[in-house]
Amino acid sequence: MIRDSIGLSLEDGRLTVVAVGGHDRLTHFVVEGVEDPARALDVELRARKIQARRIHVGLDRRSVVVKAFELPRASSGDLGQMVGFELERHVPFPPEEARFSWIELPSGADESRRLLVVAGGRRAVERPLGLLAGVKRRPAAITVACHELPALLPRALPARRAVWAHRHGTRTDVLLLIGRTLLMSRSVAITDPA
């Protein structure tokens, strides 16, 4: 049996869920205004017969800090400790509550080490993890920006065209894809016509 692929986005107490299943079945629903979001999510998943043990989670961009760092390449210390130390100056929450990850960006062999770091407070990360535990699911990935979408897609996809739009605050990120290939990524400001 082919399992469904589920994506979950949390923003201001609102859960937006998108699931793709066999035969290109696409399901979308929103959970908001409930006392027990985990139970409501579980009820919705069961009612729609969506089966997946793992869920991709997207955090609200406003709940995290995304920053590019440059660290000396010759440093012989633990990279995680170095990032944590550098991060202390850039986060609006107590450093001991920071949950962070990073990827190394391409740079020359003799240049400084370039990293793209994302950090959130303990609550920003543990809330969705608690929600998944409440529905007896595990995270497949926790991401922030939708430009990571190609990395989250299955390895083999048909060469179909797709448009992905992700709204956060007054901005919308738009991606154009053919299979796993990213053709274009743009961030567009949304203005109120009034």
In degrees and rounded to multiples of 5, residue 3 shows phi and psi of -80, 155
Kind of pairing, strands 138-143 and 54-58? parallel
Q: Tell me how far apart the alpha carbons of residues 179 and 183 are, in angstroms, rounded to a whole number.
A: 10
- Say how far residue 30 (Cα) sits from the centre of its chain: 17
Q: What is the spatial distance between Cα 141 and Cα 131, in angstroms, rounded to a whole number? A: 14
Token readout for 8 is: 């979950």
Looking at residue 1, what is its pLDDT?
Answer: 42
In the block, which residue shows the tokens 């920006």? 145
Query: Which comes out higher in pLDDT, residue 164 or 98?
Result: 98
The residue among 128 and 186 whose pLDDT is bigger is: 128
Which residue, chain included where needed, has tokens 């053709």?
183
**How much is the average pLDDT of 133-137?**
93
* Pairing relationship of beta strands 113-121 and 181-189 according to DSSP bridges: unpaired
Global pTM? 0.66
Report the alpha-carbon distance of residue 172 to residue 189 in Å, rounded: 6
Residues 28-56 pLDDT 10s: 888 999 999 999 999 999 999 888 888 88
